[in-house]
Amino acid sequence: MLTIVAFVVALGLLIAIHEYGHYRVAVACGVKVLRFSVGFGKPLLTWRRKNSPTEFVLCALPLGGYVRMLDEREAPVDPAERHLAFNTQPLRSRAAIVAAGPAANLLLAVFLYALVNWSGVEEPKAILASPAAGSLAERAGLASGDRVLQIAQGDEAPVEMGSFGDLRWRLTQAALSREDMTLWVAQGEGTPVREVRLPLGELDVREVDATLFERMGITAPWSAPVVGRVMQGGAAEAAGLQPDDRVRAVDGRPMSDGQELRATIAGAVGSDGQRQTQQWTVERDGRTVSLTVTPSAEQVEGVWIGRVGAFIGAAPELVTVRYGPIDGVVQGVVRTWEVSWLTLKMMGRMLIGEASVKNLSGPLTIADYAGKSASLGLTSYLLFLALISVSLGVLNLLPLPVLDGGHLMYYLWEGVTGRSVSDAWMERLQRGGVLVLMALMSVALFNDVVRLTG
């Protein structure tokens, strides 16, 4: 139920803001707006403000919306109202009205990011867990407990690193740009600072998913190798493990953090499902205890891994990331621009075959993430809304005839040549745009089904 409610609220809000952008600028340009609709299908709620020509409608299917304006191309217009028709407006006014929808979504994203920046968010510190064996991070010399102080993408100037989430975001940008990243790290206070070059240009980034960070070797913030809640009937309970046990070593190999301990447990089961017994050395109430642990075997996506039936790893160290009134807005603008540019870059790479179409997501994935983000709290949900708002704004600016960007291309043609696109060409382009959009939606929906059922 939470997923459905979060999805409907998100879609309804983002569509309403988008259409309000069109509506507000149309009214400002002197265009008569006949209907403002959020959703399609059967009207659930209809109202009209006093002395307003606009009918406001809320419909049953919140999968879109529209602003219907007075227009001679759609219906006869009273000569006395011809100056109020959309098609009679100067080119700059028509372009502004069309661009206002995507612009409203981008401005909403700035506001949402700024709101999160002002309120502050608790994030893990930029302290690295053990890099995966054979990963870029391991080969570059990064180690468990390294605190990332500064980073620099390519030849850019170094920037201070505040949180692990910020670190992952900048690593994503660098990987998609195929630029190496330089990190300045230290093992705790007062230790020498090391400069480490992470060769992200070597990565194959056709697909942006969890495996990207696994190949980088930077998957999680540092956490102590501590046992959390122990589940009944699991291997941990059978071995005598207790909450707050700190695991010092497994089979004589020291455990530096929770990430390394989880990987060691997962690797206790062979590719044939055969379980291996491990000797754990744990610290409990100031004394050392030796335990024999035999992880259970579980198959995940066709691969056998070990489980012990307990939460592994203490909560990571947190830092409060908060900005002032001006800096919060500035950071909101910066993040909106970065997400927009990254979205366009990924679309361009998919177009030329350098990125997989598996990166496309549809309504099922959006609904899934809406529910997950809402369950994590208001801040996560606001960040989700901001991300989807940016995506909606950028998508609508694409030069497809059925989208706002397509109409802007028509106006660009009109501005350059001095004449509008002919009705015949308009019809051909609209049909082509519908086919392209339907193909993209089909691929996105297919990807959704594969992700959620795979």
Q: Which pair of tokens denotes residue 284?
A: 């409990």
CB 209 within 8 A of CB 285: no
Ordered DSSP codes for 134-186: TSHHHHHT--TT-EEEEEEETTSPPEE---HHHHHHHHHHHHHTT--EEEEEE
From the number of C-beta atoms within 10 Å of its C-beta (0-12, 13-18, 19+), residue 302 rates as: exposed
Q: Which sequence positions are flagged as catalytic?
A: 19
Q: Which pair of tokens denotes residue 229?
A: 């809640």
Q: Which pair of tokens denotes residue 21?
A: 């952008």
Residue 214 and residue 203: Cα distance in Å, rounded? Answer: 11
CA geometry: angle 31, 37, 41, nearest 5 deg: 140
Taking the CB of residue 125, how many other CB atoms lie within 10 A of it? Answer: 17
**Which residue, 118, 176, 103, 143, is CA-closest to 354?**
176
**Partners of 253 in beta bridges:** 250
Q: Map residue 77 onto helix, strand or coil.
A: coil
CB 370 within 8 A of CB 10: yes
From the number of C-beta atoms within 10 Å of its C-beta (0-12, 13-18, 19+), residue 111 rates as: middle
Residue 308 and residue 229: Cα distance in Å, rounded? Answer: 11
Residue 307 and residue 295: Cα distance in Å, rounded? Answer: 5
**Helix and strand numbers, DSSP H then E, in the chain:** 12, 16
